[in-house]
Amino acid sequence: MIEFEIPKPIANIYYNALQTVAVNMMRPVARYYDVHEHEIPWDYVNFMHMAMSQTGAGSLAPDEKKKVDDQGKERPRLGYQTLAHMLEMLSWGDSGMYLVTPGGGLGAAAVEAAGTPEQKIKFLARFRGPKPTFGAMAMTEPQAGSDTSAIRTTAVLDQATNEWVLNGEKIFVTAGKISLLDSDGLVVVWATIDPSAGRAGMRSFVITAGTPGVQVTKLEHKLGIRASDTASIVLQDARVPFENMLGSAEIVRQPTTKGFKGAMATFDATRPLVAAMAVGVARAALEFLKEELSRRGIEIRYGLPRQKQTNIEREVIDMEIMLRSAWLLVIKAVWMADNRKANSKEASMSKLRAGDVVTKITQRAVEIMGPLGFSQEFLLEKWFRDAKISDIYEGTGQINRLIVARHVLEYTGRDLR
């Protein structure tokens, strides 16, 4: 059964501690790292690495091993639920800084979704080492955004050396540079082994930092989440070991949609987490708005008929409803992920709703605050800028609407585009 209260293990171990981090380590320097784009907040990075190492959470990929209590009963899996609460709170602190949290990130999520048990052990262990390590996932290309079948980065097997040779360019890679800074970092690159096969030719390859032929060529200057680097990466005859292709042996050589399904499984796991990040930013903006209204003598009178409330009261209550609805969709999607239930529809619903909600809440909060909402005196205008990315990366709002519609109408991708 889905629980809507914060599970005690999460509240006791993570939530209170993370709130302290968000209040004391993130909020005070959020403006600095917004202005000094791409500067790495090493104090935060090193602290989070130490804290996660001490709690056994050395990777942002959830620990999926079965655990039992003293009576031998299996404990409920809380991996993705824990991550949702963690990401919501850290994004309430600062979403850009959260994206520089050490751990596997999207790279680890891709390994978790598409890798074999042996590959998970091998690659995820990198993020539990003695120093901060990062992971990224590279899918988008200059000509291939939402249309993944248009990916042109190629992977050709060199029979003589039993290595894959990758060539192509990836853009908008979140944490792409920092993941390649250290020898233990990695980037999961999506490429095709057969360009004529469309999605059936797609495969994912783990490229470790220091691989010859891999070069970061550009860092984007962005509207928001400026503490996080967003990189362009060029692959020129980059060679990776044969076993660095994620997945079982049966999908290695012949075109099959299992490679594409591995990518989609990654998104089913990560889209609710991106939605949790959006909820954190929206909550920050809404709480700030209510505090400022209260400071000016404007209190929200709950329980009155709407016709007896002021316009501002109605708007704030409507924003609270939107925020709560988005969070409940997140909780449902991550609960399903933890309980091994297919959650593609729910993952897209949560991402779609949260991306829409955070954009509306931050924009309306800026409008209600007037010139002060537009001023850098407060972080509200920053949250407004940070919000929009939630509706774009990990699948745009339009793409997630299509996915939800296909599930509801029982259409295939070919039937509804």
Provide the annotated active-site residues.
394
Reduced to 3 states (helix: H, G, I; strand: E, B; else coil), residue 407 is helix
Which residue's structure tokens are 């783990």? Answer: 206
Reduced to 3 states (helix: H, G, I; strand: E, B; else coil), residue 112 is helix
Token representation of residue 63: 């620990």
Rounded Cα distance between 60 and 187, Å, is: 15
* DSSP code at position 13: I
Alpha helices in 57-161 (DSSP H): 79-98, 105-114, 117-124
343-353 burial, b for 16+ CB within 10 Å, e for fewer? bbbbbbbbbbb
CA dihedral 360→365→371→372, nearest 10 degrees, is -140
48, containing H or E segment: helix 42-55
Closest CA to 188 of 124, 132, 102, 250: 124
Q: Decide: residue 400, CB within 10 A, 0-12 exposed, 13-18 middle, 19+ buried.
A: buried
Residues pairing with 165 in the sheet: 156, 239
Provide the phi-psi class of 116: left if phi over 0, else alpha when psi is between -120 and 50, else beta: beta
- Residue 240 · residue 166 · CB < 8 Å: yes
| Strand pairing report for 163-174 and 230-241 | antiparallel
Ordered DSSP codes for 232-281: EEEEEEEEEEGGGB-S-GGGSSS--THHHHHHHHHHHHHHHHHHHHHHHH
Rounded Cα distance between 413 and 417, Å, is: 6
Rounded Cα distance between 332 and 341, Å, is: 11
